[in-house]
Amino acid sequence: MFLSKKILKSTLKLNNFQRNMSLIKNKAYINGKWTSALNNETFNVLNPVDKSIIGSVPDMNCDDVNLAINSATEAFKTFSKTTAKERSDLLRSWYNLMVKNSEELANILTQENGKSLAESRAEIKYGNSFVEWFSEETRRINGEILQEPMRNRKLMILKQPIGPVALITPWNFPHAMITRKVGAAIAAGCTCVIKPSEDTPLTALALAKLAEDAGFPPGVMNFITTNLNNSPQIGKLLCEDKNIRAISFTGSTAVGKILYQQSASTMKRLSLELGGNAPFIVFESANIDLAVGGAMQCKFRNTGQTCVSANRFFVHNSRFDEFLQKFVDKISQDIKMGDGKKNNITHGPLIKQSQIDMIDHLVIDAINKGAKLHCGGKKLSDLGPLFYAPTVLTEVNRDMEIYHREIFGPVAVIHKFNDENDVLNEANSVNVGLAGYFYSEDLSQIFRVANKMEVGMIGANEGLISCAEAAFGGVKESGIGREGSKHGVDDFLDIKYLCIGNIKY
């Protein structure tokens, strides 16, 4: 009797959970309509906790994408004429709906990405903040009046929306990577074709539903869903289509380079936010407790699957043992892996099989070649197929694959150093430069090191640095362009110089 009551209760709870999921959509969104693929193909979306199916969405191909491009092109004719105030109001309504539906968005995000509910809630808040920010920035996109070198002329610079744009996003921040791009594009007056990752399309479609409810006109935001097989052709189409005037992409450096090459034929504006290989340096004067706190955040957030994750730790010889001990202790105290839906869980699984296989391979390769393991170093198969234990390695050298790679998983590699110049040379020795972190209590050193680090973003005595106000982006092969901040709209604007001559005063 007691048991059946319990089962009844949990079934009711599940039904309520599903019933409350009004934002889960199984169709794409083109020209203001919820749309299947023309050939009716679909693909399943999996929960990485146990690979169970949580939904299915259209598997679109280039025919469908052409419809989306046409829709964005048609809508641009009128949307480009809207006032900044009108766009601001639309973005604000979208933002308000996102805030109102934060809990459901977080639940969807946790289900398809696997990150804990606490992390999903943080992402929703962060992602929402871009829409709020750009609802404000749109009213500050101003041109310039110039000093004319001749008396009878008036010179000015106009800023105009570049045209319909394509936005391609990854799975590690399914909400924030969309809002950061769409917010800026809409603020500038552009219309969009949005292609979310095949691993996390449900969060994107939930955002489409809220955009529809917020009153965005048909064609202004088009969300297409597609499986990985179709992504290369779709990417090529978006790069080569002459109506699409800009592409904003967040993802791997390899795909970013393909898009860069493909865009040459149409001279498209490109904004590329690609991979990183962030150094995390702990200098002699560092506050070790602060450094350990920062290391926990920027190594293990999203189970290490972020492009700004610390990838190479360098700790001064004199503080090495202290840092290592405190870091390993903190990992065992603070990290509780499991199904992100559960309350006490801090970290979820990796996103997919290829990801966990790659992490496992890197760790085994390092250990076989002499690296020292301090914790973790194994799959946690009893939790599910994609869980990998938080891992710390030292004595890693150049012969090991992990030394050269962006790890994208919960594995920290810690090196020793003695000299500031040496460690900076090592930090700067890679082809990428997205984020970098260091801990020091020496003010001169803070300015010196910040100046010399070859990255686009720096956290000095801080491990979590992203926000809507900041300019997010990298140098070298980490990409082109900046997102967020007042600069985030630049990639979606054309500058037009206007000279009015022969004015009779």
The residues annotated with a catalytic role in the active site are 273
Residues 223-252 vs ligand ADP: string with x where CB under 6 A? Answer: -----x--xx--x---------------xx
Q: Whole-number minimum distance, CB 250 to ligand ADP, in Å?
A: 7
When the beta carbons of 114 and 251 are compared against ligand ADP, the nearer one is 251
Q: Whole-number minimum distance, CB 244 to ligand ADP, in Å?
A: 13
- Helix, strand, or coil here: 194? strand
- Helix, strand, or coil here: 28? strand
Contact 134, 247 (CB under 8 A): no
When the beta carbons of 43 and 130 are compared against ligand ADP, the nearer one is 43
Q: What is the DSSP letter of 389?
A: -
Contact 282, 439 (CB under 8 A): yes
> Which parts of 141-200 interact with ligand ADP (CB under 6 A)?
168-171, 195, 197-198
Q: Whole-number minimum distance, CB 359 to ligand ADP, in Å?
A: 13
Residue type, 450: A
How many residues belong to the site for ligand ADP (CB under 6 A)?
A: 15
Kindly state whether residue 96 participates in binding ligand ADP, applying the rule CB under 6 A: no
When the beta carbons of 231 and 394 are compared against ligand ADP, the nearer one is 231
d(CA 52, CA 417): 45
Q: Whole-number minimum distance, CB 195 to ligand ADP, in Å?
A: 6
Residues 459-488 vs ligand ADP: string with x where CB under 6 A? Answer: ------------------------------
Kindly state whether residue 266 participates in binding ligand ADP, applying the rule CB under 6 A: no
When the beta carbons of 181 and 415 are compared against ligand ADP, the nearer one is 181
When the beta carbons of 152 and 233 are compared against ligand ADP, the nearer one is 233
d(CA 85, CA 355): 44
When the beta carbons of 195 and 316 are compared against ligand ADP, the nearer one is 195
- DSSP E strand boundaries for 372-410: 372-375, 391-394
SS3 per-residue string spanning 106-159: HHHHHHHHCCCHHHHHHHHHHHHHHHHHHHHHHHHCCCEEECCCCCCCEEEEEE
| Bridging pattern class, strands 310-316 and 411-417 | parallel
Rg for the chain (alpha carbons), in Å? 24
When the beta carbons of 239 and 292 are compared against ligand ADP, the nearer one is 239
d(CA 244, CA 86): 23
Which stretch of DSSP H or E encloses residue 65?
Answer: helix 62-79
- DSSP E strand boundaries for 371-492: 372-375, 391-394, 411-417, 432-433, 435-439, 457-460, 475-476, 479-480
Kindly state whether residue 409 participates in binding ligand ADP, applying the rule CB under 6 A: no
Q: Whole-number minimum distance, CB 274 to ligand ADP, in Å?
A: 8
Q: Whole-number minimum distance, CB 314 to ligand ADP, in Å?
A: 25
When the beta carbons of 300 and 323 are compared against ligand ADP, the nearer one is 300
d(CA 319, CA 482): 35
d(CA 33, CA 43): 20
Kindly state whether residue 258 participates in binding ligand ADP, applying the rule CB under 6 A: yes
Q: Which of 195, 180, 80 is nearest to 130 (CA)?
A: 180
Q: Whole-number minimum distance, CB 333 to ligand ADP, in Å?
A: 30
Contact 286, 262 (CB under 8 A): no
Q: Residue 31 has which token pair?
A: 């020209």
Kindly state whether residue 348 participates in binding ligand ADP, applying the rule CB under 6 A: no
Kindly state whether residue 58 participates in binding ligand ADP, applying the rule CB under 6 A: no
Q: Whole-number minimum distance, CB 215 to ligand ADP, in Å?
A: 27
d(CA 196, CA 43): 14
d(CA 225, CA 248): 17
Q: Return the residue nearest ligand ADP (CB atom).
A: 235
- Interacting residues toward ligand ADP by CB under 6 A: 168-171, 195, 197-198, 228, 231-232, 235, 251-252, 255, 258
